[in-house]
Structure 1
Amino acid sequence: MTATLAPEAAVVPLRRNRRFQTLWAGSASAMLGTCLADTAYPLLLLAMTGSPTVAGAFGAVQFGASVLFGLHGGTVADRHDRRRILILADSVRLLTALSVALALAADRLTVPHALLAAAVIGATMAYGGPSRMLALRAVVPPEQLRQALSQDELRVNGAALAGPPLAGFLLGLGTAVPFLATVLTSGLALGASVAVRFDSRPGAQAPTGGREKGGREKGAAFAGLRYLFAHRVLRGTVLVAAALNLTGSAMLLAVMVLLRDHGTSQAGIGLALTGEAVGGLLGALLVSRLHRLLGPGALLLAVAWSGAAAFAVPAVAAGPVVVFAALALTSLGVPALRVMLDVLVFQRVPEEVRGRAMAGTMTLLMAGLPLGTMTAGLLLDRLPAATVLVLLAAALAAALLPLTLGRSLRGTGWNA
């Protein structure tokens, strides 16, 4: 009897798991640095050049690099030591941040230098992201995985809420100050990666597809995506999450235009947009409860339909308070959806392709952000913002209708 109970007794509460909490703190630092950069770089480029196009190019280059290298980042995570990958990615991020801060101090920062930094940041996200998630899994017992992922959602949404206003405040102290802050956050992330040791060996290479001469797997980078799309629940979850990302990014631009047209100040627009992060923070606290109440399919449909309904609300009653509430409602179930997707990947994807499955998921979700913004921009050039919001809600509802009417997705349950 004593031998049977020993493994359970050895499981410490998550708050006392020093390896997880150290990795989590490092991840939070890296995320905060990214959110600082996402605001500070465009503002700096706008001040340097006076061109909104150049300012917007930073985000486009960063997202482009993440999408371009995303699948290869998963392949690397499945074939090489993940701790070394994480340390290397954090080191490159630190050196990049330091180069920008030094160039600013010497008054020698150029637009190409800033855009190169954007590409490097995007690439380090692509290579470090899967390894960081697998590191999280390696230091947390299976029964605490959902709790750990819920805490990780607090990191993401907390950084998203704090990053933009903090960047603006630091810029007010001096042009170089927010970039010195990114050096600090990158250094803290690297310190955490170096400090924590975990089982970083990739899984054995199982035959997930045909092989070329020399034993190299054909289409290895796409093995994770093939596995995701072959699994009914994973396929539905990824596609709906990608649709929410695409339409959600389009909604953000549409409500910004809508508020501007109604005479809302820039500060008012900024405060209204924080509804997304506030909803995410509150939603992170509801993850466990939502997972107990709903199975994966029902949760997926509930979150998606609430998003479709919230999209149309500002079109009927425009105003910063309404927009704040609509964004908060849209984001409330997103943490539960993201944790659900991570849990399903850990439960149902073999270890040997798990890094590529994560990278494929991240790539699909990130690709929807610039695509949604670009689509909204094209529509807003021709249609009123309220009409665009209604069209986005209708498009998402049309995509959800077949999944809702079918029984296969609604009846899915959690694995033990």
Structure 2
Amino acid sequence: MAGNSAAGNRTTVDEPRPITAANTAAEAEAETAAPPVPLRRNLRFQALWAGQAAASLGMRVGDTAFPLLVLALTGSSTAAGAFGAVQMITTLLLGIHGGAVADRLDRRRVLITSDAARLLAATSVPVAMAFDRLTLPHLLLVAAAIGATMAYSGPVRMLAVRSVVAPEQLAQALAQDEARLNGAALAGPPLAGFLYGLGGAVPFLGTTFTSLLALVSALVVRFPGRPADARPNHEPGTAEQQPESGGALAGFRLLAASPLLRSVLGVLLVVNLAGAALVLPVMVLLREQGTGSGGIGLALAGEAVGALAGAVLVSRLHRMAGPGALLLVVAWATVPVPLAPLLPGGAVTVFAGLFVVGLGLPSLRVMLDLLVFRQVPDELRGRVIAATMTLLTAGMPAGTLGSGLLLDHFSPSVALAGITALLAVALLPATASRTLRRAVWPTAPAPSQA
């Protein structure tokens, strides 16, 4: 629920509402205009996608290379882990404000500023290495800067995609975006290792280059800077001031007002938490079974490979089942995966289990867009995106911490069995929910052919 200054004038989302020309002015124009060009010929979308792909790849390379650099600099595993912790905590702390900024300020300028800040932070590392002035406090400041840019650029990037494609092409555009995310997740770690082998500064020169590409994309691609109801030329006290009076927490209130969205986000939060929790026990158990570091890395890549394959199945899976049923099927398919390392086959079995789970993840991400992001007014969308991402991301550090605590007291096998049991129990209330099981897809224009 998002409140505003006018008494009794509230925006709620109890069930997905049909997507009509009244939702936004942009959608109304799209319905009356000529058919849109195929997505592959939409130069603004493709240029924006290329910039986002470069940014994602650079982030994934950095996720592996920065801890290796900290470890080489300090010899401390705790310090190496601190880099990722500082980055994630900064993103979580600033995420809510990032959504409010996306709704109230010029979105294109926010994206340009964020990309420029990330470029400066990335560039500072190889420069400091060249002058032999690199320190741990410097690297932790870089981690905080990168985390901050993610908090502010994340919602804007998602909004930018919606502004450069026709509504009927959005599902197809999001499926292509899934290929970007999962391709970066798959290519980033091995590329970081390869570049690091060429020289300690090489991967950070790579992140600098990808940050530059992202900034160039933000500079050359023009998209609407603000939602229609947030433009500065509106008269004070009119309905157009709703975004300001809604507050930074308007996204959370809107999500909390809908039983369906509460159930959807609850299931996704539990799945994210379990996914983060199983990584450490799986790594420990596979190592105890004699699997090398390379084999462990390949086993854990199963989810990214499955998600790449699943990106082409999004439309088919959405036709086969309603959103609630699809969500529950994918979630329950996740339940036995923590037990995969206990079965014969070791790393191969783990890869297969994660691959199966990965197949359904792109359809869930697009489902989230259809059920949530496309069903709220544009002037609230940044805050709703930020609230959703904050809720889903919060489960990851909780899962990692929880698995560490389990391993302090139990064997990896017991820890994995416990994760399986907790996941199954947590899914029971959602499975019993009629609201979730009977949910239907919002009506939308038929997707065009690219």
TM-score higher than 0.5 here?
Answer: yes
Assess if the C-alpha contact under 8 Å between 1:29 and 1:188 holds in 2: yes
* Contact preservation (8 Å) 1:77, 1:202: no
Picking from 55, 77, 81, the partner of 1:30 is 55
Using the TM superposition, give the Cα deviation of residue 6 of structure 1 relative to its aligned residue in structure 2, in angstroms: 9.3
Q: Aligned residue for 1:94?
A: 119
Moved more, 82-91 or 104-113: 104-113
Aligned residue for 2:102? 77
- 1:242 aligns with 269
Unmatched tracts of structure 1, length 5 or more: 207-213
Does residue 40 of structure 1 match 2:65?
yes
Q: Secondary structure at the match of 1:408?
A: helix
Whole-angstrom distance in 2 between the partners of 1:110 and 1:404: 50
Q: Deviations over 1:68-117 (max 9, x none)?
A: 00000000001011000000000000011111110111121111111111
Whether the aligned pair in 1 keeps the contact of 2:370 and 2:442 (CA below 8 Å) is no
Match of 2:414, as an amino acid?
T
* Structure-1 separation of matches of 2:186 and 2:242: 47
Q: Which runs of 5+ in 2 are unaligned?
A: 1-28, 232-240, 444-450
Classify 1:194/1:390 alpha carbon distance in 2 versus 1 (closer, same or farther; 3 Å): same
Aligned match for 2:156, one of 118, 131, 135 = 131
Partner of 1:397: 424
Q: What are the residue-to-residue correspondences of 1:14-413 with 2, within 5 Å?
A: 14-204=39-229, 220-317=247-344, 319-413=346-440
Which is further off, 390-399 or 119-128? Answer: 390-399
Quickly say closer, same or farther: Cα 1:152–1:106, change in 2 above 3 A: same
CA contact (8 A) 1:259 1:318 kept: no
Listed one character per residue, the Cα deviations across residues 262-283 of structure 1 (whole Å, up to 9, x for unaligned) are 1111111111111121111111
- SS of match in other structure, 1:286: helix
* SS of equivalent residue, structure 1 residue 121: helix
Alignment TM-score, normalising by the size of structure 2: 0.87
Contact 2:104–2:244 (Cα < 8 Å) also in 1: no
Does the 8 Å CA contact 1:67/1:363 hold for their aligned counterparts?
Answer: yes
Assess if the C-alpha contact under 8 Å between 1:14 and 1:148 holds in 2. Answer: yes
Deviation at 1:317, TM superposition (A): 3.7
Change beyond 3 A, Cα 1:131–1:216:
closer
The count of corresponding residues between Structure 1 and Structure 2 is 406
- RMSD of aligned residue pairs (Cα, Å): 2.0
The one-character-per-residue Cα deviations of 1:120-144 (angstroms, maximum 9, x if unpaired) are 1111000000011100000011101
Structure 2: distance between partners of 1:257 and 1:219: 47
Residue 203 of structure 1 deviates from its aligned partner by 4.4
Question: CA–CA distance in 1 between the matches of 2:112 and 2:207?
Answer: 17
Matched residue SS, 1:225: helix
d(CA) in 2 for partners of 1:226, 1:249: 27
Distance 1:216 1:129, change over 3 A: closer
Structure 1: which amino acid aligns with 2:433? G
Mapped partners of 1:18, 1:205: distance in 2:
27
More displaced 10-residue stretch of structure 1: 286-295 or 133-142: 286-295
* Range 308-317 or range 9-18, more displaced: 308-317
State how far apart, in whole Å, the 2-side matches of 1:79 and 1:219 are: 11
Partner of 2:436, secondary structure, is coil
**Which residue type is aligned with residue 183 of structure 1?**
T
Which residue number in structure 1 is paired with residue 11 of structure 2?
Answer: none
Q: Distance in 2 between matches of 1:99 and 1:232?
A: 47
CA distance in 1, matches of 2:129, 2:371: 45
Contact 1:80 1:202 in 2 (8 A): no
State the secondary structure of the residue aligned to 1:381. helix
Q: Are the aligned partners of 1:273 and 1:323 in contact in 2 as well (CA < 8 Å)?
A: yes
Following the alignment from structure 1 to structure 2, what is the Cα–Cα distance between the partners of residues 175 and 216?
47
Which whole-Å CA distance do the structure 1 matches of 2:278 and 2:345 have between them?
13
Compute the displacement of 1:382 (Å): 0.9
Q: SS state of the match for residue 229, structure 2? A: coil
Q: Residue 221 of structure 1 aligns to a residue in which SS?
A: coil
Secondary structure, aligned partner of 1:352: helix
From the superposition, tell whether residues 107 and 235 of structure 1 become closer, same or farther in structure 2 (CA, over 3 Å).
Answer: same
1:391 positional shift: 1.2
CA distance in 2, matches of 1:317, 1:389: 15
- Counterpart in 2 of 1:12? 37
Deviation at 1:294, TM superposition (A): 1.2
Matched residues in 2 for 1:215 and 1:82: separation?
18
Equivalent pair of 2:343/2:349 in contact (CA under 8 Å): no
The one-letter code of the counterpart of 1:415 is P
Between 1:97-106 and 1:310-319, the stretch displaced more is 310-319
Alpha-carbon offset, residue 43 of structure 1: 0.4
Q: Distance in 2 between matches of 1:83 and 1:376?
A: 40
Note closer, same or farther for the CA distance 1:265–1:77 as it changes in structure 2 (3 Å cut).
same
Secondary structure class of the residue paired with 1:45: helix
SS in 1 for 2:227: coil
Q: Which moved more, 1:268-277 or 1:127-136?
A: 268-277
Q: Matched residues in 2 for 1:340 and 1:5: separation?
A: 22
Identity percentage over the alignment? 59
Contact kept? 2:403, 2:415, Cα under 8 Å: yes
